[in-house]
A = this chain, B = another copy of it.
């Protein structure tokens, strides 16, 4: 039986955006739970839902989606009745952090910002569950929001998480390093923003391996040495420059 309504736990970015998205897509948000009654009420108001404390969740009801920080998932699950069907929205936490027999993962692979409405249609949902019928129903629920729904196992989800750290967290570090370097030399980060946007845009359509450019890709040792020299008063960044350059040279010998 496809889910026509959901209960939700959480009041952060992911919870708030999901509550709004379900509401707008015609999936009824029945009740929002939180350990803090005021936060439950706030989040519930996004979809005219009921609200309550996690510990007061009744033993029967619709699918519960736990959208809280990774390290709170197990505790939330332990406070919910074991008779409920429960999923979490994390890319990293094991499905088995949930104590309920009927359990799963409903993971939207995106970085969310409070005030920016997500483009749900394009966001990949990674689905996993304890039973194939539940997996099917979770996929059907995800399809209401997104055109990119994937059934994955825990092993695959682990790899996706490492890859996401590399493509998102590490990339943002590089943005930060370049911004800091410009700032140090009294240049605005705005100089690089269009390049950053275009680099990401190209990777939307092509294989990034075929898009690699730059001194390391060309084997331009002279420029590389000049850059390392320029970074000599910044040994940490120089070491990163060297490590990333060596990796490119290794990939494109």
Contact = CB atoms under 8 A, between A and B. Distances in A.
Tell me whether chain A's interface is mostly helix, strand or loop, or mixed.
Answer: helix
Q: Chain A: interface residue count, which band?
A: 35 or more
A201 B118 CA distance: 12
A159 interface: yes
Interface in A122-157: 122-124, 126, 148, 150, 152, 155-156
A173 to B, nearest CB: 5
A213 interface: yes
B194 A122 contact: yes
State the oligomeric state as a number of copies: 2
A219 interface: no
B166 A178 contact: yes
A241 B198 contact: no
Interface of A: 92, 109-111, 113, 119, 122-124, 126, 148, 150, 152, 155-156, 158-182, 185, 187, 189-204, 207-209, 211-217, 223, 226-227, 230-231, 236, 239-241, 243-244, 247-248, 250-251
